[in-house]
Chain A
Amino acid sequence: MKIGIIISLFLLAFIAVPLISLFGASDLLSSQKSTIAEMWNSTYFRRVVFFSIWQAFLSTVLSISVAILVARAFTRLPRFPFRHLILSLFGLPLVVPAVVAVLGIVSVYGKQGWLPLGENLYGLTGILIAHCFFNIPLAVRLLIPTWDTVPEQHWRLASQLQFSSWQQWKHIEWPALRENIPSIALLIFMLCLTSFAVVLTLGGGPRSTTLEVAIYQSLRFDFEPTQAVILALLQLVICLTVALLATRFSKLPDVEPNLNSHQNINQVQQSLGDKITQPLFIIFATVFVVSPLLAMFIDAINGPMLEVLTDGKIWKATAFSLFIGLVAASLSLFIAWFLLNASAEASIKNKPILSQSMLLSGSIIFVVPPLVIGTGLFILLSNYVNVFDWAIGIVILINGLMGLPFIIRTLGPAIRQHKMQYNKLSTSLGFNAWERFKHIDFPLLRKPIGLSAALVATIAIGDLGVIALFGSPETTTLPLLLYQRLASYQIPQAAVTAAFLLAISLCLFWLLEKVIGGKHAEH
């Protein structure tokens, strides 16, 4: 447990130190400091706070509700055609840089799109579509493993009692989901709260301004680091409040969960209504998620493919992106492993607050914008070293830590359950840490480990926020290359680059899940 506390403190320091260093910098530089009171009194500011929370709340509720239906359908249809491919595709939206996602969504819902919404797209509608596009697939991926934890006896009992679909949901599935939904919802809430380019561009104008925009603004044209820090802290407070509400709502299952996923959900009776609606949910979600991605690929096919793909730069950028992604994922897994084990141990020893605090420390990094953390670190480090020599290391570190919130959702519940079942066994066998990992932990946890690695690696590959801070032309990643093309009129070339980025991420996602997760990783 000690190691978990140390990691937690490190994570908190990692957030606090850049904020403090930014705060320090502002005293020397900004001439007109706006006070907190002044900010509170401005209607603009209050509207920004309200709108940030409101759109994040709506996006979260919508994404989670749809995702539950879809994930439920997936678990009932293990042999659905192209199931594995669809679930791999569901890993993609998180990789897509915001600009590209906006263009993809406009290809589908824009004036000349396949499902034209006209100008109604710009406003809350556009924001919700984009956030659902990003978060429904993520939530589905995170929710599916929960069904595996339902003990087989439950399904057998349900079958004997001839539970209706609603009764299955109420008595079996909901209690199992209650542990995970709040933390997944929190993650999605944070993602939407900090959403920026999507909200601004699809939001239709300054009416749709989030706190993140305000932070960006105060660090750029206005150059008021104090204000940026205050806004970042406010964002943090909002998230902590939501986190607190989430833990209230969260309830651990009363029964011993089951990790030997021989459970057979199919032994329960499926009503006719279910048999018809389940595939429809999957088809609807797949069409919704895949259509903007498909639009991107079609744009790419119409674009100058040969010109872009024969350019050596794209391959160099790919190699560099893959390197960052893989190292960040390894780092993230490494830290998460100790943190989650410590948290699970605390939970078993009946210290729920300590256990939850550890998880929270790994989650909140997400809320502080990378621009703030990066800039803060930059000021701090530039006092001691040549920051540019350390750019790659810092990029990997921030990306790795940004991945923690995802791993906490994928691996966290599994580790906790695993520990409850096998702690005594491995102690009695007298294994050392490595033997234990090799013979007990890894074989049973490889599925969630595979998913975690795949998620974090692809997210790091899609990162633009952190890498753009350091900006050495030698360290160009794929998203940066894409952005440079977009910024120099080369929009067709950018489309090809975007599709290539997606293809690479898809391969990586599939490969990591397969290699680490083992044969039946998709279930």
Chain B
Amino acid sequence: MPYLKFSKILVISIFILLATFSNAEIKPTLNVYTYSSFTSDWGPGPKVKEAFEKECECILNYVALEDGVSLLSRLKLEGKNTKADIVLGLDTNLIANAEKTGFFAPHQQQLKNSSLPEPWTNETFIPYDFGYFAFVYDKNILKTPPNSLKALVEDKNGPKILIQDPRTSTPGLGLLLWVKKVYGDKAAEAWRKLSPRIVTVSKGWSEAYGLFLKNEAPMVLSYTTSPAYHVIAEEKLNYAAAEFDEGHYQQIEVAGLIKSSKQQVLGKKFLSFIQSETFQTIIPTTNWMYPASLSSDKLPEAFGDLVQPKQALIFNDIEIEENRKKWVREWLDALAN
């Protein structure tokens, strides 16, 4: 009788369910909250875990959330009950907001050989990698990409673009800040000019990049490091990032230690490990970003061919925290009306 088999499956399933709940551990565990592309098989996560566990006599346990923004909101939701010891994956847009929560302890680290363009002064978070936003295009399809943000905005016959929504995506917010940095008070006007050439505004980076690879538009908002993936992993040389004269907006990704964590010593060890050559050399070909403390001669060859922005554009994190909502509303009004 088939339904008897079905009930058997049910009973067995319940047992498996119960079995998964009992999980004994002896070594100390360091809980690291991060985003899921960090912990995936092809991300830095597994290699970092293996390397750190070799020297720490501990278990490194990841909790993988959707992205940097969900890390912060999750932390706020959990409050004092948080299981996190380390949060890895916040970026410069979130730092001020994260510090305001008071959940993080000062890092108390000596910063080692920083490769960031500007000296790092924040005392709570340790940077582990950085990148620049850029419009990526296919050289076979687009022969003459715009050479500045102004050229992209002003040229009515310019290439169509795919971008992400600043309300839901980090690169989307990055572009919003980039335009703000270049245009200041005239940002809304710039968005209105650009509007007819925006094919669509996607929820996240994946959708826009996927549409770009399906040739829905000749340019997509991504990172200067994106072409390196296609060169190293796919041996495709036809993708490039357009270099803009005004400079490129910068994103720095950071990690911090939770104040209430019981693993203070282990946590500090991890923050120091983040700056080690072991960790830093894993980053370029797994997270596809620039490591934050590694000399450039140790980067993979394909990184040498990438666009080197003339200037790293970035807002002070407090300025972002104070204005983000206002600027997003301005963006909405410019594009939705």
Contact = CB atoms under 8 A, between A and B. Distances in A.
A106 interface: yes
A1 interface: no
A346 interface: no
A200 B165 contact: yes
Given A207-B335, A323-B16, A378-B78, A197 B210 contact: no
A218 to B, nearest CB: 10
Interface string A202-244: 1111110100010011011111010000000000000000000
A206 B165 contact: yes
B329 A44 contact: yes
A481 B39 CA distance: 11
B17 A122 contact: no
Given A221-B69, A379-B77, A388 B17 contact: no
Given A205-B336, A491-B210, A516 B6 contact: yes
Interface residues of A, number: 77
B261 interface: no
A100 B72 CA distance: 27
B168 A206 contact: no
B263 interface: no
A330 interface: yes
A318 B81 CA distance: 32
A313 interface: yes
A205 B332 CA distance: 9
B16 A491 contact: no
Interface in B68-97: 69-70, 72-73, 76-79, 81-83, 97
A330 B11 CA distance: 10
Given A204-B201, A213-B168, A375 B207 contact: no
A291 interface: no
Interface centre among B76, B200, B207, B215 (most CB of A within 10 A): B200
A148 to B, nearest CB: 21
A425 interface: no
B213 A491 contact: yes
A301 to B, nearest CB: 16
A223 B207 contact: no
Interface string A473-505: 100000011011111111100100000000000
A107 interface: yes
Interface of A: 25, 28-29, 44, 47, 99, 102-103, 106-107, 110-112, 119, 122, 196-197, 200-207, 209, 213, 216-217, 219-223, 225, 311, 313, 323, 326-327, 330, 375, 378-379, 382-383, 386-390, 392-393, 396, 438, 442, 446, 468-469, 471-473, 480-481, 483-491, 494, 515-516, 518
5 closest residue pairs by CB, A with B: A484-B40, A486-B206, A471-B64, A487-B37, A201-B202
Interface of B: 2-3, 5-6, 9-10, 13-14, 16-17, 20-21, 23, 36-37, 39-43, 45, 62-66, 69-70, 72-73, 76-79, 81-83, 97, 160, 165, 167-168, 173, 195, 198-211, 213-216, 226, 229-230, 233, 288, 324-325, 328-329, 331-333, 335-336
28 contacts: A44-B333, A99-B210, A102-B207, A102-B211, A110-B211, A110-B215, A112-B215, A196-B203, A201-B202, A204-B199, A204-B201, A216-B167, A219-B73, A222-B325, A223-B72, A326-B13, A379-B77, A390-B21, A392-B20, A446-B3, A471-B66, A473-B64, A483-B206, A484-B36, A487-B40, A489-B233, A491-B213, A516-B2
